[in-house]
Amino acid sequence: MRQIIIGNWKMNGSRALVDEMAREVYARAASLPCDLVLCPPATLIAPLAQALPGIAIGGQDCHERVSGAHTGDIAAGMLREAGASHVILGHSERRADHGESDAKVRAKVGAARAAGLTPIVCVGEDEAARQAGRADAVVLGQLAASLPEDFTAGVVGLVAYEPIWAIGSGRIPSEADIAAMHGAIRAALRARFGAAGGAIAILYGGSVKPANAAAVLALPEVGGALVGGASLVPGDFLAIAGAAMAPALGRTPVAG
Which residues are at the interface with ligand PEP (CB under 6 A)? 8, 162, 167-168, 205-208, 226-230
To ligand PEP, the closest distance from the beta carbon of 170 in angstroms equals: 8
To ligand PEP, the closest distance from the beta carbon of 207 in angstroms equals: 4
* Catalytic residue list contains 20: no
To ligand PEP, the closest distance from the beta carbon of 227 in angstroms equals: 5
For residue 72, give the H/E element and its range: none
User: Given 63, 86, 91, 182, which residue is catalytic?
Assistant: 91
For residue 38, give the H/E element and its range: strand 34-39
| Chain residue at closest Cβ approach to ligand PEP | 228
Q: Would you tell me how many other CB atoms lie within 10 Å of the CB of residue 16?
A: 8
Residue positions counted in the chain: 256
* Catalytic residue list contains 91: yes
Q: Which is nearer to ligand PEP, 167 or 185 (CB)?
A: 167
Q: Are 227 and 246 in contact (CB under 8 A)?
A: no
Beta-bridge partner residues of 122:
160
Crossing angle of helices 135-146 and 175-193, rounded to 10°? 40
To ligand PEP, the closest distance from the beta carbon of 205 in angstroms equals: 4
Per DSSP, helices labelled H in 101-208 are: 102-114, 127-131, 135-146, 175-193
Q: Which is nearer to ligand PEP, 122 or 193 (CB)?
A: 122
Task: Please state the separation of Cα 170 from the chain's center in Å.
Answer: 18
Q: Which is nearer to ligand PEP, 168 or 253 (CB)?
A: 168
Q: Which is nearer to ligand PEP, 193 or 201 (CB)?
A: 201
Active site (catalytic) residues: 91, 162
